[in-house]
Amino acid sequence: MPTTKEQMRHLYLKKMFSSIPMDTYLIMLVLSLLHITLPTGVTAFTGIVGQANGFLAMLMIGIGFELRLEKSQVSGILKAVIIRYGMAILFAAFFYFLLPLPLEVRLVLVIIAFAPISAVCTAFTQKCGGNVAMSSTLNSLSILISIVLMTSLMAVLKIA
């Protein structure tokens, strides 16, 4: 087991970049920044596969939704929630007040800042050797909090 911070960092980066979804996101980001488009056949096929994502995401959330709060984890979960939504507030303020983009784009970014934690975070937590139960609870809690916050923001900002 790694002992130094450098060894831990190396192991973390190795696990992160050996993830196929992470590598795919990075490759697509680079292609997008370079304005390189994929052939029509590739986008047609991936479009069909991608249409299943909404259903699969909801299925994963439904299967993984559980709130198991153990006393030993409450402070850690509370700290993570405060940091998560505190950062969301800072990002939302930055998006709304400082970005030189049209108002509708800034409003969408504000709403996105309060989106729930990704459903795959629990899988990544397990892959990195973290506390899976705490991650799962935090994920489920973030869904509830984000639904309330995003709906409230949409009502306050008059986004239909």
- The reply to whether 16 falls in a domain is no
- The reply to whether 1 falls in a domain is no
What residue numbers bound the domain in which 104 lies? 67-156
Tens of pLDDT, residues 87-114: 999 999 999 999 999 999 999 999 999 9
pLDDT at residue number 89: 97
DSSP string spanning 59-103?
A: HHHHHH------HHHHHHHHHHHHHHHHHHHHHHHHHHHH--S-H
pTM over 0.85: no
- The reply to whether 35 falls in a domain is no
Whether pLDDT at 76 is above 90: no
Domain count, the chain: 1
